[in-house]
Structure 1
């Protein structure tokens, strides 16, 4: 091999491994969007982008404002996003998105177009949450400032995570999970809703309020707090929550924290009839007693466990009946379970599953144990009564 050919080969090899970042984008050219809110009115999409202020932290008059809101409208979501460049010298960059807010009215008309844009966009990652604005719209969620977090989008993102882990009435749903659920047979989606409260004319911090029920890609209704807890008991997504039960043989209530809750769904087929069994196992801690119920009494925990079991059965039964009667949307995934466990039966019923689901018998088997009663055994009221009698 000649020396010239060898040199050319070396040059070519260096060219192949030294192409550089051909698709690079300079930070000074980007506007980092942390949240976007999307509305659709009369076929026109309105986009509100919450962008991190690039001057934040610098000695400038504009550095005190942590985020800037840009808005634009268009016939498609892409059209509206591109029009944002007429109002900012930087490209709206979506890779750092934390939350996407969809207006209630747009969700009722269907969100497949919105999802399509974000699923196709190569800049979009899958670690942000989708939520619903149960309010008046006009970008009010992304416009709201927050005190505990400089970036309002971080406030919402962390609120969803904390509420889901501690209170149990919300659900963090990512883009991929939402898109996968609405195209999956035998299971429908839910999304957490948020609203802003007003103190006079001033908007207060956004508050997570409930779960929205979807049928395919359309919002069809809402669950309240107890119904949301029942939903999460069934689906096994409940980390912990608090339930209030009446004091056994007393006037008043006890607060019980449910922990380590697990559920299992089993389909049952007898002839042409299909039913579903929901098995729930959990433990709990006594967190508050506002009656004279004494935990040192014989079988005190047994009576409490029966009261909690009755509450679990109530939460599950009520949410199933509510969803079956009012929405006919299988958010629990009963059809998906039937598909996995009895595929031949599912193939026979799948075309008419909405009707089958609305009349599906659901049986509940629950087991619950009290594990901790706190550092104080008897209630303060009981101790006060004893001290008066001495």
Structure 2
């Protein structure tokens, strides 16, 4: 009886024989997709090396890398994944992948075939962030030894989140691809120049890649225009802004950013009315306006809103005339408001979008003025 009990207890604590232990997996942190010199597809993987991995408390950028970058060249994503698997003594695991980097050369050729594999592979996380590498290749980003994190694939995700350029995931791109009234866009990363004295390289996110309905990159915008683009699209939540007025410059932190779009058909012309709203906190006031006084603050708000509205209208016009791609989703608003008219427009939206008359109305309200209203007077201003 005691022997039977011992066997039963042994079976209970022995675990499952068909179960994969954590040590059997190779954790795939970042993916890069590029076009080789011969025109073939190239896939690179940033894989964690457990022996060299340290907690983030120790900081990144150690001499001993916590990851390796493996590259394969071929014709299909699946084949390349298998080639990378053949180079590893553990089974690849995509559940921890944080980002995908696409070389600009490949992005301009087109991404339809690549996206097909992502949609079919059940191991793909739809929340994986996706980027285009500005004037470079995706594998170069994976090889960066960042001082902020041991995995550059994670650094890019955090950088995008804090620079507020849309925080675009694979899911967002696929949703835009599946709709007729909007065209996809992706944040662009680049390696910032560094001097010989600097040991580490820095990743910057300050541009946005514009795609057509065939998922071919047709252009890019950067700086202020990229932020305005995402505000009109409805994904920008906050930003820092400095505007020049006749009296001087004023800097604000804008939050609670919202947008609404109304469309109408008038005199056989399609018109779109974009309304942008938000609240502002004054960070720097280099004008003589005392913003604590309503009678002075209100005209300043009106002036700032007029300046911003003109800039946003110029950005929209540039998208219409230079690229002809509706990355804002104006077509989707027409689809909601005029579903029957949209049936007539959907197949020729790329030709119609550049002709749409767009007007912008900005209503940014200054709600926080800091500890003082008027700026500190200079020596010449004192009485």
TM-score tier by shorter-chain length is 0.7 to 0.9
2:298 alignment partner in structure 1:
302
Contact 2:147–2:200 (CA<8 Å) still a contact in 1? no
Q: Aligned-pair distance for 1:299?
A: 2.1
Q: What are the superposed Cα offsets for residues 170-211 of structure 1, whole Å, 9 maximum, x if unpaired?
A: 112222221121121111011000011232577611111211
Q: What are the superposed Cα offsets for residues 118-169 of structure 1, whole Å, 9 maximum, x if unpaired?
A: 22112121221000111332611010011122222221111111211xxxxx
Distance 1:386 1:200 in 2: 43
Contact 2:272–2:359 (CA<8 Å) still a contact in 1? yes
Distance 2:175 2:294 in 1: 51
Residues 1:218 and 2:213 are matched in the alignment: no
Residue 196 (structure 1) aligned to one of 185, 191, 194: 191
1:374 alignment partner in structure 2:
370
Q: Aligned-pair distance for 1:271?
A: 5.0
Residues 1:28 and 2:23 are matched in the alignment: yes
1:330 alignment partner in structure 2:
326
Summarize the alignment of residues 171-182 of structure 1 with structure 2, pairs less than 5 Å apart.
171-182=166-177
Q: What are the superposed Cα offsets for residues 55-101 of structure 1, whole Å, 9 maximum, x if unpaired?
A: 1358xxx9932111111111111111111133221232211110100
Residues 1:235 and 2:230 are matched in the alignment: no
1:100 alignment partner in structure 2:
100
Contact 1:57–1:63 (CA<8 Å) still a contact in 2? no
Summarize the alignment of residues 1-390 of structure 1 with structure 2, pairs less than 5 Å apart.
24-41=19-36, 42-57=38-53, 64-137=64-137, 139-164=139-164, 170-200=165-195, 204-216=201-213, 217-248=215-246, 250=247, 252-270=248-266, 272-295=268-291, 299-380=295-376, 382=377, 384-385=379-380, 387=382, 389=383
Distance 1:93 1:355 in 2: 44
Distance 1:334 1:349 in 2: 12
Distance 2:293 2:281 in 1: 17
Q: Aligned-pair distance for 1:376?
A: 2.4
Q: What are the superposed Cα offsets for residues 322-377 of structure 1, whole Å, 9 maximum, x if unpaired?
A: 00001111111111111111011111122221111011001223322211111122
Distance 2:85 2:270 in 1: 55
Q: Point out the more displaced range, 110-119 or 214-223.
A: 110-119
Contact 1:33–1:52 (CA<8 Å) still a contact in 2? yes
Aligned length: 358
Q: Aligned-pair distance for 1:321?
A: 0.6
Contact 1:135–1:196 (CA<8 Å) still a contact in 2? no
Distance 2:138 2:262 in 1: 45
Distance 1:275 1:284 in 2: 29
Q: Aligned-pair distance for 1:247?
A: 3.7
State TM-score, norm by structure 1. Answer: 0.85
Q: What are the superposed Cα offsets for residues 11-34 of structure 1, whole Å, 9 maximum, x if unpaired?
A: xxxxxxxxx796x53322221011
Unaligned runs of 5+ in 1: 1-19, 165-169
Distance 2:267 2:339 in 1: 15
> CA 1:386/1:138 → structure 2, altered by over 3 Å: closer, same or farther?
closer
Aligned CA-pair RMSD: 2.3
Q: Aligned-pair distance for 1:109?
A: 0.8
